[in-house]
Structure 1
């Protein structure tokens, strides 16, 4: 039986209709951002009779700079581990569950989607086959949405995941509330018919829903990019789409000039063009490197029109690209591909804006991923205090190996622990754990008198009186 027309406020049916309608609007936004990111920019409008003639030029005129803006930002936001409390290294249990759910790779996808489309989502669920390893999945902005309690940007009131079944074509939906989980279905939409889906409760594996929510909170977490105090999020390229369109328009004009007026058009006056037997004009001259044009009539004049200068078009594109680089704080060499005799200090200064932006973007990302880790640790039965939980980020600043080693050596003289130095070096949490064990084992052997542990198995022990004793 179909759902009632006016469900009670706060009920699962009420949240389903409310969130599904909002999800449809977000899909339009996400589709626009994805088209621009992939280079499928909207073509300029032309007259119908000219559409076939210019369609090839219009497609060639699209140059995808906004895609570079997204990639340049997302590729520097990488998660290396999870730290709980005041420990020097990442938490092994939190990282085990993280890796068991392939979040090493999926976290990069989630961050890229958030940078591109303003949001992505993570869903946490208990694992019926292994209670110690909850299931964590990344969810797309076109299939997931979260609502917050009035006056709060953190307390989740409800969540919705809605999608189309690939096999049956039916609409599927799951509503997540703090106390229960509801599942619904709707018939496959009829082509050309616009209206709200006719949702009905559905059963899964013969079991009727709703089912109790074992986590006690909405298990769907939003990963926002550029959030504001009203809870809105923003794509990294939303405010530079006009610049991208401007670049494409300039490229269209350049291609038109290049196609029709970038060559020198010749003209001739006072010359009678010969004709054939049928009265059709005959081409009197053939242009080639080894040919000479000879005209016997002294009254004939020959000249040529100058070609269109393409320089202003190229300068206009470069100017717009620089505007985009300044607005998005993307190094201009990323977009223009020009980098000649740049010193290390100059290169570092050129990338300082991007590094600062990445550090700022990481803060809301970190809060969201910390909530994800808390949820799956709670689902796994972890009873520790998880308030002091911290995401370990990869250093977004690029340095040469020599610069990095020199900086780490100086930091070690200040008493910075080895684990912190290894982390800054870029070692993974697994590598840090292995190095820590190897270091401790070597220290134990040295204390026990194993000099080879200090000098290596192939190094001779120091001779007496050499001054190199331990």
Structure 2
């Protein structure tokens, strides 16, 4: 075995040592996770503003954000909807879909994928606490971590899930079967704020063991990763948006400030002293000094009295704010280009766009969504394989491992476009069931119902036809034999 490096777990580590290393690695991700979450929520201070501007504006723009870091991942996630699971033979796995819905995964998987797009990863845990129906739980990035076998991106060596109740922190460490040791689940707890991990006693029966043999036989924690390259960690979808987002926010702040001070023509009084008023002693009535008259009062009253001969009024023209808008427009177009987000999603430019032009504008987003379907589909397929193992169905698990996840079409089309395409597929001999599955939003159960109704309709039509033409067939042979004696008697 290669020598271990600092912080990296090995199969020879004790459970508590392994837990500590994984917890430290999870803590190392916390700062970046918080940053991406803050960007998505629009909580981002001005980054490119000078100290002088910041001092002048104070906290005026503290809560403002023209938030494209939310639009970009939301636009992709809207194109990622799971429709069905197919086994190795290409037929729908109805049991997998029932388990999927039973665990509300059809809803929560969208949240997990969104988390993966925003903070680079989320997680799913497959467990079977009752020995009957398995549970699928989706977990945010800050509460789970998966460690892989060195040299592999898929073979899970260990996994850690952590959570708290406000006073205690809980952890479950999952390890793989190795060197004669079975796959295990170690449950631990400690007080909030640190301390050593101890066997868990809170929330479980006293008669129940703390360390459990994992009946699935594998690490049941799956990382749902937003993958980008072969090497390196998963990446946030808004990593490239953040710098441009900061620039846009700063430009808007400067624009608003310019609009407040220079958007209107500014007037200046020339050849006249600054206006003052006398300070009078209330007791003696004597003038004891003078004080400045606030210039804002003249602007408020829209009145200025020029008392000195030769005084005049000059005017500065209003500032042109379109320069700011042009730069902001370019920055947003850069966001659209780098993230393959259609410009109409960011700029609202969608008036009188032909269908072909709209399809071309969305081609980059569609290709990006299909790529995400491929990578996220691999993780979801692994989740359902573990669900089948947890349910004790090894054969179905093997079929799902070689099967595929069916997603809703990433390309938005009108009903007329779908009808035209399906009609053309029908003309070249594609079966009805295959055509029905291509319709967006149609689930396997509905296709099965259509097949049943079609077969019932065909059977009813065949029965009606048989009844209608029953009198036109050949006569019964028995009737002819009975008629022969009568004919002889008549002769």
Matched residue, 2:31: 28
Distance 2:163 2:275 in 1: 72
Contact 1:153 1:231 in 2 (8 A): no
Matched residue, 1:37: 40
1:287/1:232 CA distance change after superposition, 3 Å = closer
2:198 alignment partner, one of 188, 191, 200: 200
Shift of 1:353: 0.4
CA offsets 1:33-54 (integer angstroms, 9 cap, x no match): 1100011113447769965952
| Alignment partner of 1:429 is 2:440 | no
110-119 or 295-304, which moves further after superposition?
295-304
Distance 2:118 2:57 in 1: 33
Matched residue, 1:11: 14
Shift of 1:170: 0.9
SS in 1 for 2:338: helix
Matched residue, 1:250: 251
Matched residue, 1:456: none
SS in 2 for 1:448: helix
1:275/1:348 CA distance change after superposition, 3 Å = same
Matched residue, 2:158: 158
Contact 1:250 1:317 in 2 (8 A): yes
1:308/1:7 CA distance change after superposition, 3 Å = same
Matched residue, 2:115: 113
1:293/1:345 CA distance change after superposition, 3 Å = same
State the structure with more CA Rg: 2
Q: Tell me how large the CA RMSD over aligned residues is.
A: 2.9
Shift of 1:25: 1.4
Shift of 1:380: 1.4
Q: TM-score, normalised by structure 1?
A: 0.85
| Alignment partner of 1:170 is 2:185 | no
Contact 1:227 1:364 in 2 (8 A): no
Distance 1:421 1:91 in 2: 18
| Alignment partner of 1:180 is 2:184 | yes
Shift of 1:288: 9.6
1:31/1:312 CA distance change after superposition, 3 Å = same
| Alignment partner of 1:63 is 2:78 | no
Matched residue, 1:100: 102
SS in 1 for 2:241: helix
| Alignment partner of 1:74 is 2:77 | yes
1:284/1:397 CA distance change after superposition, 3 Å = closer
CA offsets 1:308-330 (integer angstroms, 9 cap, x no match): 21111111111111111110000
Contact 2:186 2:211 in 1 (8 A): yes
CA offsets 1:204-251 (integer angstroms, 9 cap, x no match): 311232110100000001111124323621110112211111111111
Distance 1:8 1:154 in 2: 17
Matched residue, 1:390: 404
Shift of 1:433: 2.3
| Alignment partner of 1:415 is 2:415 | no
Shift of 1:163: 1.5
The answer for unaligned runs of 5 or more in structure 1 is: 1-5, 190-195, 453-460, 462-470
408-417 or 379-388, which moves further after superposition?
379-388
The answer for unaligned runs of 5 or more in structure 2 is: 1-8, 177-182, 280-289, 469-491
